Structure 1
Amino acid sequence: MLTTFFICSMLHRMPNKPLSALTLQDRDIEIQIEVHRKWEFRGAIDNGPILHIDMILTDCIGNAIHCQIPSFPAAKRGDEFQVGKIYKMSRFPVARAKSSYKPVDGDLMLYVTPYTTLELCHNSPSSFPLYVYSLTSYDKIDPNEPNARNFHDVISIITEISAIKPVGNARIPSSYNRHVLIKNLSDSILKITLWGKRAQEFYLTNTYDPQKQTLVIVLFVGCLPKEFQGEVLLSGGAAYHWYFNPSIEEATAFYNKIESEKINIELPSLDGQEITPPQLPQREHHDLKYILPLNPHDVPDEGYECTVTITSIPEGKTWYYIACNTCPNKPSIDPIIRQCSTCGSTKYCFRYKLTFKASDGTAEAEMFAFDTVARTIIGKPCPMVVASFSRCISYPT
């Protein structure tokens, strides 16, 4: 018993392992980390259920790693991790990094489970990094490259910021967005579209002085390349973050322009104020037995609400369609070339059209959901699911 206690005690006192030294074989180790960034992923709907919580963890020698709390323990354990706090962490699995939506470079990532232990550190080194980034130049931003499914970081000068605008309709929960125009040292312009909570949180009221018109340098991290109506842009969602006037080496050339260049940024009138999204119309709740026999012309514009359970997914039904990546239309399907009949573009993407049967106990109905709602049900974007079949001779149906 004495020997057993001695071994366990020595294991407990093992020195903290650097993040760069972690391996897939690690089991009983301890690391000291700072929660550098943290965000909740709720799919395409702002107020949807938490699908997972993501974090970037750093150590005191400058290493960074992606860590994820899956949906099951997220509700209980998410609040234990506070941004800017330093912890000793143990009893966590080390896994291979995801092939897409990677916030940091690296081959490994961590997961938090109900068994992961966390201890707040009160006396810790002050050498944890202030910034975690990997810059991408404007000419390397390509939404059609495989790397487009990973997050991009850019440093730029802000030239324009729009007001927040509501998006959505009566059948899909509302969100809002705002556009930010930025430029690099070559004066090339790039648009960043911010969504939901990130759009509301981004404002320049306390950063930009309209009288002095001094340049605002900004480091954007966690953006995804997109293409809309032929324009390449960056999209900022839950993982997106920014740092005004960062103290990093790559910003030096931008700061050299501050003395010689001024810029007039027209600030939106509602900048920094609380924005309330448009209220969805109230829908009547009915069961399927009541809804199914109705004449469609008798159904109100806002529709009805019904709570159902998915009972089956019919075989032989396609669960995705191929959409134009330049305009919102579905392109014609050609066995050799898929070309949009509206704009002529051959750039396409995969989107859900999920068919399923559902019941509420009173009746059963066949239903379908397009990309936005289907992503909430499945929990993964359609391109990610299709990519998992990349070794197949043909795409699944």
Structure 2
Amino acid sequence: MSSSAAQIAHAAVEYSTFASLRLGRTVQSVVARLIRFWDSRNVNKNGEFMGITLLLLDEMDSVIHAFIPANRASHYRPSLKAGCIVRLERFEVAQVAHMYKVTEHQFLIHFLPSTRLGEVHTDAPVIKSERFMMRRYDQLQVLANTNLELPDVVGEIRSVQGSDLSNDSATTRVVVRFLIEPNVTVYLTLWDEAASTFRGLLKSGDKSKAVMLVTTVNPKLFGG
């Protein structure tokens, strides 16, 4: 029986880069930095938990996303640690869906019951700590209302609206006026865990004119 808790001591054994992955169930392995992960939920089914989405970055500066289905999430969750370098083995490589893309890679890694995940402790390759899928305002306009991509944006906080802003356990909506380019201000709406996390940031003091990076946003256009 495979174990998500099994620690892989080194990365010296041959492995593939994301660019060389092939479709299907594979004997390939990859070594990458787990840059972040989050719970994926179906908003059309009352927030039903679907699984865990992972973003992985390899030594060639390529990002791919991996998915752990809900029925395997509790098995792997204890081994997930953002920022660490991991080795993945015995997974399936699938085509990325047309909608809600979180990377520019054409493939994704799908966890199977036999998938092995372990942290690399020695002989790890040099991998950057982060990489983002940034989009300019004109690109966000093209993506608006299409649900094709969930890009990252950076901007300056101009004002914040919402209730219970000092309560970081509250998950109700927060609306941020966000300056993303000179003379371009958008409204950033945060819900659920994102709203709670943002309230936690507000507790440390006035954040007006602070610069913030927000990942996996869904651009929308409202009005005429």
TM-score range, shorter chain: 0.7 to 0.9
Whose RCO is larger (CA < 8 A, sep 6+)?
Answer: 2
Aligned partner of 1:186 among 182, 186, 194: 182
| 8 Å CA contact retained: 1:50, 1:74 | no
Matched with 1:261 is: none
| Mean CA deviation greater in 108-117 or 123-132 | 123-132
Matched with 2:173 is: 177
Matched with 1:123 is: 122
| 8 Å CA contact retained: 1:46, 1:196 | no
| 8 Å CA contact retained: 1:164, 1:200 | no
Distance 1:146 1:160, change over 3 A: closer
User: Partners of 2:154 and 2:123 in 1: how far apart?
Assistant: 30
Greater share of strand residues, 1 or 2? 2
Distance 1:93 1:198, change over 3 A: same
1:46 positional shift: 11
Matched with 1:132 is: 131
User: Partners of 2:106 and 2:75 in 1: how far apart?
Assistant: 28
1:96 positional shift: 0.7
| 8 Å CA contact retained: 1:181, 1:190 | yes
Secondary structure of 2:220's aligned partner: strand
Distance 1:145 1:176, change over 3 A: closer
Matched with 1:153 is: 152
Matched with 2:64 is: 65
1:221 and 2:215 matched = yes
Secondary structure of 1:75's aligned partner: helix
Secondary structure of 1:42's aligned partner: strand
| 8 Å CA contact retained: 2:66, 2:110 | yes
Matched with 2:4 is: none
User: Partners of 1:135 and 1:188 in 2: how far apart?
Assistant: 16
Q: Deviations over 1:140-173 (max 9, x none)?
A: 323776753310222211111223469xxxxxxx
Matched with 2:193 is: 197
Give % identity: 21
Structure 2: 5+ residue stretches without partners: 1-10
| 8 Å CA contact retained: 1:143, 1:225 | no
Secondary structure of 2:196's aligned partner: helix
Under a length normalisation based on structure 1, what TM-score does the superposition of the two structures give? 0.47
User: Partners of 1:86 and 1:133 in 2: how far apart?
Assistant: 17
Secondary structure of 2:122's aligned partner: coil
Letter in 1 for 2:100: Y
Letter in 2 for 1:179: V
Q: Deviations over 1:258-294 (max 9, x none)?
A: xxxxxxxxxxxxxxxxxxxxxxxxxxxxxxxxxxxxx
| 8 Å CA contact retained: 2:162, 2:174 | yes
User: Partners of 2:33 and 2:71 in 1: how far apart?
Assistant: 23
The aligned runs of 1:342-361 (5 Å cut-off) are none
User: Partners of 1:113 and 1:78 in 2: how far apart?
Assistant: 14
| 8 Å CA contact retained: 1:136, 1:153 | yes
Letter in 2 for 1:35: L
Q: Deviations over 1:102-125 (max 9, x none)?
A: 111011110111100122212354
User: Partners of 2:114 and 2:210 in 1: how far apart?
Assistant: 44
Q: Deviations over 1:187-246 (max 9, x none)?
A: 21101100001101112444757xxx7x42222220001244x18xxxxxxxxxxxxxxx
The aligned runs of 1:259-278 (5 Å cut-off) are none
Distance 1:208 1:130, change over 3 A: farther
| 8 Å CA contact retained: 2:151, 2:218 | yes
| Mean CA deviation greater in 109-118 or 66-75 | 66-75
| 8 Å CA contact retained: 1:143, 1:226 | no
Structure 1: 5+ residue stretches without partners: 1-11, 167-173, 232-397
| 8 Å CA contact retained: 2:145, 2:219 | no
| 8 Å CA contact retained: 2:63, 2:131 | yes
| 8 Å CA contact retained: 1:178, 1:195 | yes
